[in-house]
Amino acid sequence: MKKLWQKALELFRRHIILWVPCTVAGILILALGKLEKAQIQWFIHFFQTQRSVLGGEAQSGDLSEALHRATMFIYPLGLLKEFLDVCFFVVALTTTKSLVQSILEEQKPDMVAAVRGVVPRFREVLLFSVKYMAVLAVFAGIFIVLGSSPLTSDRFHEFLFSKKYLLYAFSLVGEGCLAWLLLPAAIRLLRPPGSPTISTRVREMGTAFAVIASAGALALGFLTGKAESGIRLDNQGEGLVVAVVNTVIINAPQILLYIALALMAIQESNEETSLSAVPAINWRSKLSDWVRRGREWRNGSTDEN
């Protein structure tokens, strides 16, 4: 694992092009978040506005009714937004693997070719995104049930949600479980179709990398939040620039994780190729050869006597 970590750090440091897929995905997700907020405000304004047959408009005072009607559209669009977020990062993962493959083969990494390489396996990308969303929904449901269960006391709930480090610890445990469950599918996505399942060693290393990357992202998110709170922004343009910079910083551990996963997938594929290149041993021929040599040795011993 140490050698893999060193190789991933070296690629992360020397090849800025490997930063591009995950960074672009983060910026697209940031843009979708801004668009979602604008859509929510538009829906609320739309359902709160009364229109007359003469073309006039007037604001309704019933905000709760407007919110209730708007949620019929907000929730499905929010679910679609989350699915697109996952798809963006899955495409970034597969693109990063193609770039890492080119670098290891001492070829010039081509971003356009790497993105085009995702198209033939786009169905697999969508399938993995659906799996990720399903597993994430199960974990979120378990966390909600445990957090609101009447079997646990209110004091425990207050203690749990008042300590941020406990929430961070629970999130890292959840990230480890999520990585352990989804890592085989992620590595299969990065390898040629029809590849066998990954080894337990690779699964353990990938899970460890995922937990470390999540811990780094949480730490960077906390630090950037502290730094941003001390900055005075005069307009929305400055706020957008700060948000983009923070996105790049927070996604840095994710970039390192994607490089490590790409290296693990490539290493596993190379090991399988080297093993398949070794010809199979014909044990029947070997046994016949040993018997023949044994008979020749006995006959030679008899002739000498």
Residue 164 lies in a domain: yes
Averaged pLDDT, 131-153: 76
Please report which confidence band the pLDDT of residue 156 belongs to, taking 50, 70 and 90 as the band edges: low
Distance CA 33, CA 16 (A): 26
Q: Which domain holds residue 258?
A: 2-24+87-273
119: DSSP letter: G
Please give the share of the chain, as a percent, with pLDDT higher than 90. 23
* Predicted confidence (pLDDT) at residue 112 exceeds the cutoff of 70: yes
Residue 145 maps to a domain: yes
**Spatial contact of 189 and 128, defined as CB atoms under 8 Å apart:** yes
Domain presence at residue 44: no
Q: Predicted confidence band at 279 (pLDDT cuts at 50, 70, 90)?
A: very low
Domain count, the chain: 1
Structure confidence at residue 275 (pLDDT): 32
In a domain, 135, yes or no: yes
Please count the other Cβ atoms lying within 10 Å of the Cβ belonging to residue 293: 10
User: Is there a domain that residue 70 lies in?
Assistant: no
Give DSSP secondary structure letters for 2-67: HHHHHHHHHHHHH-GGGGHHHHHHHHHHHHHHHHHHHHHHHHHHHHHEEE-TTS-EEE-S-HHHHH
Please state the rounded mean pLDDT for residues 205-212: 90
> Is the model more confident about 46 or about 56?
46
Nearest to 83 by CA among 41, 128, 119, 115: 128
Position 62 scores a pLDDT of 65
pLDDT of residue 296: 64
23-27, 219-223, 300-304: least confidently modelled range: 300-304
Average pLDDT, the chain: 79
pLDDT of res. 146: 66
CA distance 210 to 169: 14
Average pLDDT, integer, range 236-243: 80
Has residue 93 got a pLDDT over 90?
Answer: yes
Report the alpha-carbon distance of residue 135 to residue 102 in Å, rounded: 32
Amino acid at 249: I
Domain membership of residue 209 (yes or no) is yes
Region of residue 199 (phi > 0: left; psi between -120 and 50: alpha; otherwise: beta)? beta
Indicate left, alpha or beta for 231 from its phi (over 0: left) and psi (-120 to 50: alpha).
beta
Please say if the pLDDT value at position 260 is more than 90: yes
Most confident of 58-67, 129-138, 165-174, 294-303: 129-138
pLDDT digits over 160-202, tens only? Answer: 555 566 667 777 888 888 889 999 899 989 888 777 777 888 8
For residue 169, what pLDDT is reported?
77
- Is residue 303 in some structural domain? no
Exposure on the CB side of residue 98, measured as CA atoms within 13 A: 21
Residue 144 forms part of a structural domain: yes
Per the model's pLDDT, the better-predicted residue between 259 and 192 turns out to be: 259
pLDDT at 276: 37
Greatest alpha-carbon pair distance for the chain in Å reads 126
**Mean local confidence (pLDDT), 42-56:** 67
The pLDDT assigned to 278 comes to 34
More confident residue, 140 or 57: 140
Per-residue pLDDT, averaged over 102-111, amounts to: 90
